[in-house]
A and B are shown apart, each in its own frame.
Chain A
Amino acid sequence: MAADDYPHGEDTVEIGQGVLRTWGTIRGRQLFFKTFNGEVLELRLVKTFSSSSELITSDLIRMSQGTFRRLTGIPKGFATDLAVRIRNPRESMMIAKKVSLSLPDTRSILKEEILRTYDALFDWRSGYTIILLVGAILAFFIFAWDKATGLSAEERSEIGILKGLGWDTSDILMMKFWEGSVISVTAFLMGVIAAYVHTFLLSAPFFEHALKGWATLYPDFQVQPSVDAYQVAVLFSLTVLPYSFICLIPAWKWASSDPDLVMRQG
C-alpha cells in the first residue's frame, strides 16, 4: 500500500513498463480495473516508471490509499501490512514478540529479516559471476604456470640461435618481456572490449536471465554503460603484469646458458 504522500490524488495510477506491455492498448490514458465485488473501476494513468528502473518497477502498480481500499474492499481501519517504527532498534525483537502475543493472527517481520530475504533473493546471482571468475582465474593460472615452468623445444632453439648470433642475456630477456607484454595486453584489451560489448551492447545474453530474475512480467534488460576504472586497473595489475614477468622465468634460465648448450638441448 502506498504511503500517504502519493502525489497524484484519487482515481489515478502509476504503472511499470511490464504492466503497460501486458495491458496492451490503452485508450485515452484510462485503465479499467475490476474491484473486489465485480464492478469496474476506471483509473487515470498519470505516470509510467522509466525503463531505466525496469528491473525493479516492471510489474509495479502504485495508487493512493483511498483508491486501493475501493479496489480491494479493505475498509478503513484495516490494513494488509502495518509498518511500526521503533526508536530504539535493540528493542525491536522484544516488541515483535509482544505484538505476536497480543495479536496471534498477525505475523511480525523485522526489517533485518526483510533485508536478509532480499540478500538471499538477489545475492546468489553473484555466485554466477564468482563461478565464472574462479574458472577464468584457474585458466589464467594454468596458462601462466605452463608458461613459467618451461619453454618448448622451438623456443629453446630460438634462444640458442639468437645467442649464437650475438644477442646477450639482457637482449633476450628484453625481447621476451615485450613478447609477453604484447600478448597479455592484447588479450586483456580483447577481454575488456568483449565484456563491454557483451554487457552493454548485447544486454549480457549469457547472464540476462540470472540478473533480471524469473518474473511473470519480464522487464526489458538494458544495462546502463558504466566502467569502473579502479576495477579495470586492478584486473590489469593482476593479469598483465604477472604474465609479463612470468614469461621471463624460463627465458632467463635458458638465456643465461651457453648458446651451444641451448642449441644442443633445443
Chain B
Amino acid sequence: MIELFRVTKVFNMGRANAFTALKAVDLRIDLGRMTVFKGPSGSGKTTLLSIIGCMSRPTSGRIKLNGRETTSLPERFAAKIRRDTFGFIFQNYNLIRGISVLENTMIPTYPIGRKHQQVKERAYSLLRRLNIESKAKERVENLSGGNSSGWPFQGH
C-alpha cells in the first residue's frame, strides 16, 4: 500500500524560476489494484510517480510504503527500494547505449553481487519470455522501437 500525506514538490526552490509541480497531494493506493494518473501535460504526473518510486524527494509532506515511511530514507535504502519494489517503463525506454540487450537486462542486479552466471540465465529466461532472446547479443541502438518498448528490466 502506498500513502501520500500533503506531498509538495517545488523545483528550483528559492530561485526566480521556482515552479510548484505538486501541491499538498494526499493519495492512497491499495495493494493489488491498477491505478491510472491522467491529466494534461505538465500537471505533475511524472513528478508524482518519481516521488512514489523513490526517484526524487518531496519538498514537503510524507510518503509511506506498506506502512513504512520512505520520505527521507538514506540514499542506500532508497536505492534498495527502487531496486526491489518498483519497476518503471519510461516513455523513451531509457536503455543504456553502447552495450548489448543482454547486458542492459542484467544491469539492475550488478550492485547485489549475485553470481554472474545465475544473473545471465535469469536474463535469458526473461528475454525468452518476451520472444527477443535472438536479440540478446545485439546493441540496443540497433533495436526497433517495438523491441525497445518490450524491455524486461530485471527485478531483485
Chain A residues in the interface with B (C-beta under 8 A): 154, 157-158, 160-171, 256, 258-261, 263
Contact = CB atoms under 8 A, between A and B. Distances in A.
Contact of A166 (B50, B96, B108): B108
A153 B95 CA distance: 14
A232 B67 CA distance: 59
B54 to A, nearest CB: 9
A165 B93 CA distance: 12
Interface string B93-135: 0111100000000011011000000000000000000000000
B56 A258 contact: yes
Given A164-B82, A164-B94, A258 B111 contact: no
Contacts, number: 60
The secondary-structure label for the interface of chain B is helix
A168 B75 contact: yes
B97 A166 contact: no
Most buried by A among B47, B57, B75: B75
B109 to A, nearest CB: 9
Given A171-B110, A260-B56, A261-B56, A166 B94 contact: no
A162 B57 contact: no
B80 interface: yes
B139 interface: no
A157 B55 contact: no
A163 B79 CA distance: 7
A167 B56 contact: no
A251 to B, nearest CB: 15
A30 B150 CA distance: 90
A171 B82 CA distance: 14
B119 to A, nearest CB: 13
A169 B153 CA distance: 20
A160 B96 CA distance: 10
Given A161-B96, A171-B111, A166 B56 contact: no
